[in-house]
Every structure is written in C-alpha cells, then in structure tokens.
C-alpha cells in the first residue's frame, strides 16, 4: 500500500473551506488532519469541536483528530468521533495514558499516540498492544511553517525497526511537521505510512491545491 495523505486543515484558507474540501475529495486524500490546540500543552490555539462538526456536514472523509491538549481524557466526550477516524493523544499530555487509549478504543476510532521530538521511543514499551498508530512529531508542535528537527528522520527509522523487532509491525507510523515533498520522500524510505500535508507541501498561496496534492502523492508512493 502507498503512503496515505492527511491534509492539515488548519493550513487551509478558511474563507474558501468548501472549495478546499472539494479539491481534497477530488484528490482522494485519506484523512483530514484536524489540529486541536489548547494554549497550554502547546503555545497556540486552533480548532475545536464546533469547527469539526461543521466540516463533518461538508464531507465524509475520515478525520485524523490530533489532540495537542493537556488531559485529553477530560475532553474526549465533547468530540464527535466516528469509527474509521484516527484519534491521537500525546504521550506527554496524559498521566493515565493506557486508560485514555482504552477510551479512544471504545469509540471505534483508530488509536494513536504522538511523540514530541524529544520524547524517546522506549516510552511506548508498555502500550504497544493498545495502539494502531504512532505519530512522530517532526517539528515541535504548535505552529505551521516550522523547520524539520533533523534527528526525527533517524527516529522514524528507529521506530520502524523497534516495531518490527517487538512483533508490532502492524502499527503504522504517521509523520507531522514540515512534511515537504523532499522530506516526505525521506520519511517514506525511513518507514512512514501516513503523511500530514501542510504549508510545506500542498497549502501554498495562489497555487492549485488539487495539483499540489497529486504531486505530493508521487513522493510517498
């Protein structure tokens, strides 16, 4: 299977959301990556459940919900989560990680854990049986348009080996942050499966979203 595309909707032009969604549908993207930021876990605010519900009314593309918030377990009930969505919580943001993962599992969504650039892979040791996806942050989370943290490329490769050696090769690897075409190609070679596409690749001012998405796919096939 080729790499899958998850466009970061926070990078879209909100004045033309309907046009954006139609272009992404036409380009057959796999998910819509929805960044939820709380001004506490990360130094920024973004989208919330009301925005998500509005977009739900516009499309059937599954959501890739990235909770960049502290205590995500407290807020899961306010989100409309559907089977087939991905829900990601940060390893660094919840004390009772295993319990939080079980709550996501109960919704029928795919269960995903994110690691910030400075969080080691071994912190996943005791929850490997509880997850479907590991999201490797390739920038420090909070803002679009940042530069790749170079060490994260090696981290993707290390994670791939770690999953294989521990008998968990079914767990997929998602990457998020400065996933340009060139970086995506390197990330694919390192073992990434799902690519968050933002301002570095498909959302560029005055350029065609559909065409850029089609071009991006060539780098991750």
Ligand X SMILES: O=C(CO)[C@@H](O)[C@H](O)COP(=O)(O)O
Q: Could you give the residue numbers annotated as active site?
A: 35, 176
Q: What does residue 16 show for φ and ψ, rounded to 5 degrees?
A: -130, 45
Contact indicator for 179, 8 with CB cutoff of 8 Å = no
Q: What does residue 122 show for φ and ψ, rounded to 5 degrees?
A: -65, -15
Say how many C-beta atoms besides its own lie within 10 A of residue 18's C-beta. Answer: 10
Residue 85 in contact with ligand X, rule: CB under 6 A: no
**Residue 176 marked as a ligand binder:** yes
Closest approach of Cβ 125 to ligand X, in Å? 26
Sole window of 50-58, 122-130, 163-171, 176-184 interacting with ligand X (rule: CB under 6 A): 176-184
Residue 72 in contact with ligand X, rule: CB under 6 A: no
The binding track of 86-125 with respect to ligand X, each residue x by CB under 6 A or -, is ----------------------------------------
Closest approach of Cβ 219 to ligand X, in Å? 13
Contact indicator for 219, 202 with CB cutoff of 8 Å = no
Residue 59 in contact with ligand X, rule: CB under 6 A: no
Task: Using alpha carbons, list the distances in angstroms from residue 212 to 27, 119, 181, 194, 202.
Answer: 9, 32, 10, 17, 5
Sole window of 84-92, 98-106, 182-190, 194-202 interacting with ligand X (rule: CB under 6 A): 194-202
Q: Which two tokens stand for residue 130?
A: 């509880």
Beta bridge partners, 43, equal none
Please report how many Cα atoms fall inside a 13 Å half-sphere around the Cα of residue 191, on the Cβ side: 22
Closest approach of Cβ 169 to ligand X, in Å? 26
Residue 141 in contact with ligand X, rule: CB under 6 A: yes
Q: Which residues contact 44 (CB under 8 A, 6 or more apart)?
A: 37, 142, 143
CA 172, CA 54: separation in Å to the nearest integer?
A: 29
CA 37, CA 32: separation in Å to the nearest integer?
A: 16
Say how many C-beta atoms besides its own lie within 10 A of residue 167's C-beta. Answer: 9
Residue 200 in contact with ligand X, rule: CB under 6 A: yes
**Residue 143 marked as a ligand binder:** yes
The residue among 69 and 162 lying less far from ligand X, judged by its C-beta, is 69
**Residue 170 marked as a ligand binder:** no
Closest approach of Cβ 202 to ligand X, in Å? 8
Q: Which two tokens stand for residue 110?
A: 């795919």
Q: According to CB under 6 A, which one of 3, 7, 177, 191 is a site residue for ligand X?
A: 177
Which residues are known binding-site members? 8, 33, 35, 66, 142-145, 176
Binding site for ligand X (CB under 6 A): 8, 10-11, 33, 35, 139, 141-146, 176-179, 196, 198-200
Q: Residues comprising the binding site for a divalent metal cation?
A: 33, 35, 66, 176
């Amino acid at each position: 299977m080729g790499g899958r595309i998850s466009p970061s909707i926070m990078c879209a032009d909100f004045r033309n959301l309907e046009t954006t969604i139609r272009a992404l549908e036409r380009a057959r993207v796999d998910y819509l990556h929805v960044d939820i930021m709380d001004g506490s876990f990360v130094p920024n605010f973004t989208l919330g459940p009301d925005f998500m519900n509005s977009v739900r009314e516009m499309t059937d593309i599954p959501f890739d919900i990235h909770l960049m918030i502290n205590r995500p377990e407290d807020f899961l009930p306010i989100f409309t989560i559907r089977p087939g969505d991905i829900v990601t919580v940060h390893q660094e943001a919840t004390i009772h990680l295993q319990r939080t993962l079980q709550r996501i599992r109960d919704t029928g969504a795919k269960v995903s854990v994110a690691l910030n650039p400075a969080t080691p892979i071994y912190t996943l040791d005791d929850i490997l049986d509880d997850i479907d996806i590991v999201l490797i942050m390739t920038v420090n989370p909070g803002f679009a348009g940042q530069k790749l943290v170079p060490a994260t490329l090696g981290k993707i490769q290390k994670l791939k080996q770690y999953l294989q050696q521990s008998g968990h090769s079914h767990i997929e690897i998602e990457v998020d942050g400065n996933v340009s075409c060139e970086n995506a190609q390197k990330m694919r070679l390192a073992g990434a499966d799902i690519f968050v596409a933002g301002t570095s690749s498909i959302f560029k001012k005055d350029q065609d979203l559909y065409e850029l998405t089609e071009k991006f796919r060539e780098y991750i096939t």
